[in-house]
């Protein structure tokens, strides 16, 4: 037995293992929780996330590999796993009252969410393409189910099915890419690939495999032109699911993308960098342009999430330049945090206004919100400003770091695209603000403690971190440095 | 580190008032709905300020126990960009802890006083909910002021500097929708804006000084700047002069010196506790503190020192002359404050830093006392006026505009407000510089120094001191003696204990404050204490000639004021008895030497003219009417006539335009077709993406 698994293998992915066991136990425990007390399941799920987060933070600073180099524990994984677990907590907080209000309260919700988080965490820690593939499936399948959770609503079912079909389609490309890479290098581990590639076997096969991998990840992070599922799925899925999915899946996708490209494909820079740059530019332009004409807040935020995938992709463009790469990836990680914080807040506000049967989701439903519920409207304003990248918000700091890194990497034109599209984005984000402050209306807002807590806390973070970004950026930088 | 005793408490200088204001922001609305709400809000704010005082005292003790050793406490990193490394560090030395004690001590007393004052003020102004806001701002001010005095670098000081400026703006404009008489107007707002803009000019100077400092000295941190300065002064004297003089512009803005003093009289639009706390005792002394803190820079450049001293001296005299001609009780005190700030600036300009700080401290006591007493008088008159209005009943509801701050409406208040009268007397004697009140000792020390080193400054300040005693005497006779010149004054009522007790504390300080630094052997306490920070300062023995002369002049001035105003008390409607003998000069004093009008004429009106010119002439007539309409549109029309009708093929252009429109429609139609909800189209998009990427890789 010990020649296959030894204790250090297990400690390398201990947070994920704990969470897996916890999720299984939760599934059983849920059977004994009476229907009218399903809130307990949420509390237990949150507890599991906290325990896992605790272990993650205790392990901070350590580095190890496990399972014959298939998974890695390092500063990078600590940083992103912590972010993912906090996202999971926000996901539970947003769901707690929402699922009851919408009549979706079922124990599986939280179990699925935990499994998905496990998948995301493994994706972050993977250092072998096979693990990437398994992790990707583990994170995706619960999300497909969650998206379709509101079975009585046809849109929700449609969202789940669409997400599933298109997800499978794009995963096909990913697997095919893995196969080609294996064919070219005879290995699926990052170290094996890079050894083979630098030994001179860098072939077209490898490049094409890498490009197909990019397609698979591009689908997960909703990059143009692999983004078309996003608005439909985000709109149809229960909002609490959307909130979690839009942050968590994106973080995991970018993490895997980064690790693969930085560790396995540094030799392919010349071929892949133009593609990355083009994807980033297309995504920024496409996401922001289409968002302009949206009238539904969920679709608006969906396109906004596409656009932000473009900004984060920018951080990866100079990945082959060893001088710029650490700073630019640190900027990318910082932006992931900025996006996650702001995004959860914005979705929290959406949840606070949503009514049964998909009502209360038009932007016109936000008219006059400021005069009805000032804290809520002010928080939403903060989130919109942060998404535009307007000071003093974390979004502005994030964009600043990003643009600087990209310019340092020599992609001035890309930074210009970023700035111009940010300018365009101000148009549709500010429309929400204008509605809240300057239009007449009678919006009705719910008041659920954990929802209020989420948007309140994220609004504060959005502003406070913008004044003291240095510790977070320093942490992100050190996380990147330990990657190598 | 054990000698640093309580240094770890330093952040609570700032956090204590911040906690207070947060509580009042979050729960204040709910408090205001309770019967005990106002008292709770006031008590919380006062406690927060009191806590800052306790912390200040502990910190001062720490410095004292460490024999004046400089202590620092770093809270965290602040700005780290390139070579610029700034922490949020609290600097604890004898100078900063002295300022902390003054700010939080006087601040706490004023908080307590304001509990009573604002209770009535919001009722006279008919807006009770605003009570909460007042104490939030007041606590915010204490926090900002603490940042200012405790910062360890010019940038941290600047954060506090801007913070107090903001609070000053907010509090001057506290009754932003009315004028000082409570009528609906934007007068108070305009006063707030004036203060803000004048300070902005000053801050510009401060910033330039800061930039120069960083450029040439490479740091903002006090010790590093002072360490680098002598070397630079040896090679590049001009830069140090520029730094110190630009800093003087900042000082002139914040401490209301010529030429930027104009905002301070208008700032009296704020509630009286604000005038006392911000515009007399603490914020306006920030400039004096800045120069004292920068002593190592100023000492290097005697030329700049001389300019600072002269600025202060001239301001002292100039403002004193205006104070003689004012009728508003708070305006007199405001010009008096400018004048006394002039004394302080002159002192620190001459290098007499201890004397300047000494006067700063005693002035904080007696000027706060005077302002708060003036507030008590104003409210007393309001009460009397209110009483009358109610006595008249409904039928006689006359809308007479009554100014409770106008000294011409007062008279005889000695009898109706006896407590306030005695308190005001003490403040007056201290300000006039009568032995043994606090003001005598501190002012005398400044005069003494001037007499030794700068004869010109000495004479100017002596005349100013004479005028000080005179206008204060005038005020006493007009306000408290003679007969009431208005019904409201006849029915004025004394203020409650919550207001008078803090005044009594300040009165005791105004009497005994001189003991801090008596000019006798063995009593130079403040000199030695501040010497830890400022280096060993010359100890001044008492000069009987200077002291005697200034006392004699002060007594003469008071006698003269009795001769003019006390002997034959002013009657209602009678013009000021000085008007006739002084003629035009008095008109000048009455109208503040027309400085405001001058500023309007020279700056504001010209600014508006330029704006008008840019808007009407340049933008509209030139740019729009001529360039756009004539040149661009005209040329375009001319060209299009030729191009469309005569030269080019009309159909060709039309076809192209139509093509553009069609193309846009087609593009939007196509994208809409893609986003059609069908999984197959979405998959197609993914597939096309793959094809394009692979195509690029294969074909490049």
In tens, the pLDDT along A398-435 reads: 999 999 999 988 899 999 999 988 988 888 898 899 99
Q: Least CB-CB distance to A225: which of B679, B685, B694?
A: B685
Q: Are A405 and A324 in contact, with CB atoms under 8 Å apart?
A: yes
Q: Least CB-CB distance to B683: which of A169, A218, A471?
A: A169
Task: Give the model's pLDDT for residue A276.
Answer: 92
Indicate the helix (H) or strand (E) that contains B92: strand B84-92
Q: Are A423 and A289 in contact, with CB atoms under 8 Å apart?
A: no
Task: Give the model's pLDDT for residue B661.
Answer: 60
Task: Confirm or reject contact between B81 and chain A (CB < 8 A).
Answer: no
Min mean pLDDT across A216-225, A258-267, B572-581, B601-610 is at B572-581
Summarize pLDDT for B137-194 with one digit per residue, the tens.
Answer: 999 999 999 999 999 999 999 999 999 999 999 999 999 988 888 888 889 999 999 9
**CA-based angle A158:A164:A169, to the nearest 5?**
125
- Here the tokens at position B122 are 């919001």
For residues A202 and A169, the model is more confident at A169
Summarize pLDDT for A2-57 with one digit per residue, the tens.
Answer: 466 778 888 889 999 999 999 999 999 988 888 888 888 999 999 999 999 999 99
**What does B63-87 look like in DSSP terms, one character per residue?**
HHHTTT--EEEEEEEEEEETTEEEE
Q: Are B442 and B361 in contact, with CB atoms under 8 Å apart?
A: yes
Which residues on chain B are in Cβ contact (under 8 Å) with A290? Answer: 671, 675
C-alpha distance from residue B194 to each of B167, B189, B221 (Å): 14, 9, 32
Task: Give the model's pLDDT for residue B397.
Answer: 46
- Here the tokens at position A333 are 């990680």
Task: Give the model's pLDDT for residue B663.
Answer: 62
Give which of B669, B686, B688, B694 to mutate to test A binding, by max A Cβ within 10 Å.
B686
C-alpha distance from residue A409 to each of A210, A325, A473, B481 (Å): 22, 8, 18, 80
Indicate the helix (H) or strand (E) that contains B612: helix B605-612
Residue A440, C-beta contacts closer than 8 angstroms, at least 6 positions apart: A367, A368
Q: Which residues of A touch B (CB under 8 A)?
A: 161-162, 165-166, 169-170, 173, 204, 207-208, 211-212, 214-215, 218-219, 225-226, 228-229, 231-232, 271, 274-275, 290, 468, 470-471
CA distance B615 to B613: 5
User: Residue A332 pLDDT more than 80?
Assistant: yes
CA distance B191 to B173: 7
Task: Confirm or reject contact between B675 and chain A (CB < 8 A).
Answer: yes
CA distance B261 to B170: 19
A225, B688: Cβ pair inside 8 Å? Answer: yes
Q: How far is A339 from chain B (nearest CA, A)?
A: 24
CB atoms within 10 A of CB B612: 10
Summarize pLDDT for B458-488 with one digit per residue, the tens.
Answer: 999 999 999 999 999 999 999 998 888 888 8
CA distance B603 to A82: 59
Summarize pLDDT for B506-564 with one digit per residue, the tens.
Answer: 999 999 888 888 887 777 788 888 888 887 666 777 788 888 888 999 999 999 999 88
Indicate the helix (H) or strand (E) that contains B512: helix B497-512
Q: Least CB-CB distance to A166: which of B77, B682, B689?
A: B682
Q: Are B499 and B116 in contact, with CB atoms under 8 Å apart?
A: yes
Burial (CB < 10 A; 0-12, 13-18, 19+), residue A34, is exposed
Enumerate helices (H) and strands (E) in chain B, giving the number of each. Answer: 30, 2
Which residues on chain A are in Cβ contact (under 8 Å) with B694? Answer: 208, 211
Q: Are A231 and A303 in contact, with CB atoms under 8 Å apart?
A: yes
Q: How far is B151 from chain A (nearest CA, A)?
A: 18
Q: Least CB-CB distance to A228: which of B80, B685, B697?
A: B685
Classify B184 as helix, strand or coil.
strand
On the question of a cis peptide bond just before residue B259, with omega within 30 degrees of 0, the verdict is: yes
- Here the tokens at position B240 are 């140090």
Task: Give the model's pLDDT for residue A50.
Answer: 95
Task: Give the model's pLDDT for residue B168.
Answer: 94
Task: Give the model's pLDDT for residue B392.
Answer: 56
Per DSSP, what are the bridge partners of residue B249?
none
Round the average pLDDT of chain A to a whole number and report it: 89
Summarize pLDDT for B35-45 with one digit per residue, the tens.
Answer: 888 899 999 99
Q: How far is A226 from chain B (nearest CA, A)?
A: 5
Residue B361, C-beta contacts closer than 8 angstroms, at least 6 positions apart: B98, B102, B442, B513, B516, B526
CA distance B262 to B277: 19
Of the CA atoms within 13 Å of residue A290, those in its CB half-sphere come to 28
A226, B671: Cβ pair inside 8 Å? Answer: no
Per DSSP, what are the bridge partners of residue B79?
B86
pLDDT band at A147 (very low <50, low <70, confident <90, very high): very high
Task: Confirm or reject contact between B693 and chain A (CB < 8 A).
Answer: yes
CA distance B358 to B472: 21
- Here the tokens at position B256 are 């209301």
Which residues on chain B are in Cβ contact (under 8 Å) with A162? Answer: 679, 682
Task: Confirm or reject contact between B3 and chain A (CB < 8 A).
Answer: no
pLDDT band at B323 (very low <50, low <70, confident <90, very high): very high
Round the average pLDDT of chain B to a whole number and report it: 87
CA distance A144 to A233: 10
Residue that has been written with the tokens 């001239």 in this structure: B314
Task: Report the residue count for chain A.
Answer: 484
ipTM above 0.95, yes or no: no
**What percent of chain A is modeled with pLDDT above 70?**
98
**For range B308-337, the mean pLDDT:** 93
CA distance A77 to B525: 61
Q: Are A90 and A244 in contact, with CB atoms under 8 Å apart?
A: yes
Q: Least CB-CB distance to A225: which of B686, B697, B698?
A: B686
Q: How far is B26 from chain A (nearest CA, A)?
A: 12
- Here the tokens at position B234 are 């040896």
User: Residue B673 pLDDT more than 70?
Assistant: no
Burial (CB < 10 A; 0-12, 13-18, 19+), residue A80, is buried
Q: Least CB-CB distance to A225: which of B689, B694, B700?
A: B689
CA distance B373 to B503: 7
CA pseudo-torsion sign A73, A76, A80, A82: positive
CB atoms within 10 A of CB B15: 19
Q: Are B33 and B54 in contact, with CB atoms under 8 Å apart?
A: no
């Amino acid at each position: 037995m010990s020649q296959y698994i030894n204790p250090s293998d297990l400690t390398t992915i201990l947070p994920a293992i704990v969470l897996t066991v916890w999720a299984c136990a939760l599934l059983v425990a849920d059977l004994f929780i009476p229907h009218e007390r399903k809130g307990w399941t949420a509390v237990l799920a949150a507890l599991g996330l906290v325990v896992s987060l605790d272990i993650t933070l205790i392990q901070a600073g350590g580095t190890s590999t496990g399972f014959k180099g298939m998974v890695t524990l390092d500063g990078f994984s600590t940083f992103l796993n912590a972010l993912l677990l906090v996202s999971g907590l926000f996901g539970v907080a947003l769901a707690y009252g929402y699922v009851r209000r919408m009549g979706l309260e079922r124990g599986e919700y939280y179990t699925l969410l935990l499994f998905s988080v496990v998948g995301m965490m493994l994706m972050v820690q993977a250092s072998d393409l096979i693990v990437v593939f398994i992790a990707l499936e583990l994170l995706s399948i619960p999300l497909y189910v969650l998206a379709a959770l509101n079975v009585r609503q046809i849109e929700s079912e449609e969202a789940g099915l669409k997400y599933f079909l298109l997800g499978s389609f794009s995963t096909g490309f990913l697997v095919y890419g893995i196969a080609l890479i294996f064919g070219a290098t005879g290995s699926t581990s990052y170290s094996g690939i890079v050894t083979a590639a630098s030994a001179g076997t860098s072939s077209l096969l490898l490049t094409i495999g890498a490009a197909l991998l990019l397609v698979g990840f591009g689908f997960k992070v909703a990059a143009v032109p692999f983004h078309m599922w996003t608005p439909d799925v985000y709109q149809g899925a229960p909002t609490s699911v959307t909130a979690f999915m839009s942050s968590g899946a994106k973080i995991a996708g970018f993490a895997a993308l980064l690790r693969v490209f930085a560790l396995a494909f540094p030799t392919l820079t010349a071929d892949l960098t133009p593609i990355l740059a083009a994807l980033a530019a297309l995504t920024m332009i496409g996401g922001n342009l289409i968002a302009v004409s949206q009238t539904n807040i969920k679709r608006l935020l969906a396109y906004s999430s596409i656009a932000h995938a473009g900004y984060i992709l920018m951080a990866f463009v100079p990945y082959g330049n060893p001088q710029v790469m650490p700073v630019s990836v640190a900027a990318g990680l910082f932006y992931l945090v900025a996006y996650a914080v702001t995004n959860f807040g914005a979705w929290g506000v959406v949840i606070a206004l949503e009514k049964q049967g998909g009502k209360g989701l038009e932007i016109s439903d936000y008219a006059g919100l400021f005069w009805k519920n000032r804290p809520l409207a002010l928080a939403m304003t903060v989130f919109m400003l942060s998404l535009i990248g307007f000071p003093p918000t974390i979004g502005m700091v994030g964009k600043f770091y990003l643009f600087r890194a990209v310019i340092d990497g020599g992609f001035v034109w890309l930074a210009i695209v970023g700035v111009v599209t940010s300018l365009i984005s101000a148009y549709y984000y500010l429309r929400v603000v204008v509605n809240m402050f300057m239009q007449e209306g009678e919006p009705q807002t719910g008041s659920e403690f954990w929802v209020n807590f989420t948007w309140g806390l994220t609004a504060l973070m959005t502003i406070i971190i913008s004044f003291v970004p240095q510790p977070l950026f320093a942490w992100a930088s050190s996380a990147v440095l330990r990657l190598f | 580190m054990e000698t640093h005793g309580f240094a770890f408490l330093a952040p609570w200088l700032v956090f204590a008032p911040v906690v207070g204001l947060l509580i009042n922001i979050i729960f204040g609305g709910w408090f205001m709905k309770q019967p005990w709400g106002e008292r709770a809000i006031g008590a919380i704010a006062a406690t927060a300020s009191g806590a800052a005082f306790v912390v200040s005292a502990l910190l001062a003790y720490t410095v004292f126990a460490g024999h004046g050793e400089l202590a620092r406490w770093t809270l965290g990193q602040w700005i780290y960009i390139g070579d610029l490394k700034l922490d949020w560090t609290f600097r604890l030395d004898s100078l900063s802890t002295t300022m902390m004690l003054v700010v939080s001590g006087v601040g706490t007393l004023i908080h307590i006083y304001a509990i009573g004052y604002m209770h009535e003020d919001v009722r006279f102004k008919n807006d009770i909910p605003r009570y909460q806001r007042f104490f939030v701002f007041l606590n915010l001010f204490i926090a900002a002021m603490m940042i200012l005095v405790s910062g360890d670098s010019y940038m941290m000081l600047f954060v506090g500097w801007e913070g107090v400026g903001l609070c000053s703006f907010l509090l001057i404009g506290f009754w932003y929708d009315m004028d000082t008489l409570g009528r609906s107007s934007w007068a108070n707002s305009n006063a707030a804006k004036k203060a803000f803009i004048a300070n902005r000019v000053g801050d510009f100077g401060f910033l330039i000084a800061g930039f120069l400092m960083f450029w040439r000295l490479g740091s903002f941190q006090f010790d590093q700047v002072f360490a680098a300065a002598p070397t630079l002064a040896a090679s590049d004297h001009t830069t140090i002069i520029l730094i110190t003089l630009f800093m003087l512009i900042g000082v002139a803005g914040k401490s209301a010196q010529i030429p930027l003093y104009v905002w301070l009289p208008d700032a009296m639009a704020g509630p009286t506790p604000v005038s006392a706390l911000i515009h007399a005792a603490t914020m306006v002394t920030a400039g004096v503190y800045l120069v004292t803190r920068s002593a190592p820079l100023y000492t290097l450049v005697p030329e700049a020192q001389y300019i600072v001293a002269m600025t202060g001296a001239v301001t002292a005299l100039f403002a004193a002359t205006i104070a003689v001609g004012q009728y508003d009780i708070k305006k007199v005190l405001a010009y008096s404050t400018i004048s006394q700030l002039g004394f302080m600036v002159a002192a620190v300009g001459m290098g007499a830093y201890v004397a300047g700080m000494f006067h700063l401290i005693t002035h904080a006591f007696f000027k706060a006392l005077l302002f708060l007493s003036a507030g008590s008088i104003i409210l007393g008159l309001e009460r009397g006026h209110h009483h009358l209005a109610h006595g008249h009943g409904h039928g006689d509801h006359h809308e007479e505009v009554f100014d409770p701050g106008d000294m011409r409406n007062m008279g005889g208040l000695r009898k109706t407000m006896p407590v306030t009268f005695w308190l005001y007397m003490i403040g007056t004697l201290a300000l006039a510089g009568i032995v043994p009140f606090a003001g005598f000792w501190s002012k005398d020390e400044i005069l003494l120094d001037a007499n030794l080193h700068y004869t010109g400054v000495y004479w100017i300040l002596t005349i100013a001191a004479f005028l000080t005693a005179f206008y204060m005497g005038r005020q006493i006779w007009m306000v408290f003696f003679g007969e009431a010149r208005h019904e409201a004054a006849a029915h004025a009522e004394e203020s409650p204990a919550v207001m008078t007790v803090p005044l009594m504390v300040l009165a005791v300080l105004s009497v005994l404050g001189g003991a801090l630094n008596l000019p006798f052997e063995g009593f130079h306490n403040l000199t030695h204490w501040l010497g830890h920070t400022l280096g060993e300062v010359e100890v001044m023995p008492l000069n009987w000639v200077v002291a005697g002369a200034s006392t004699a002049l002060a007594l003469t001035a008071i006698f003269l004021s009795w001769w003019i105003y006390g002997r034959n008390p002013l009657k209602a409607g009678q013009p000021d008895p000085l008007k006739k003998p002084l003629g035009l000069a008095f008109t000048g004093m009455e109208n503040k030497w027309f400085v405001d009008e001058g500023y309007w004429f020279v700056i504001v009106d010209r600014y508006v003219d330029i704006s008008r010119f840019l808007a009407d002439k340049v933008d509209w007539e030139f740019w729009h009417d001529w360039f756009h309409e004539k040149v661009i549109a005209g040329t375009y029309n001319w060209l299009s006539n030729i191009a469309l009708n005569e030269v080019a093929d009309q159909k060709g252009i039309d076809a192209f335009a139509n093509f553009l429109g069609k193309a846009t429609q087609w593009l939007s139609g196509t994208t809409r077709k893609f986003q059609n909800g069908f999984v197959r189209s979405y998959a197609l998009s993914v597939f096309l993406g793959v094809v394009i990427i692979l195509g690029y890789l294969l074909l490049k």
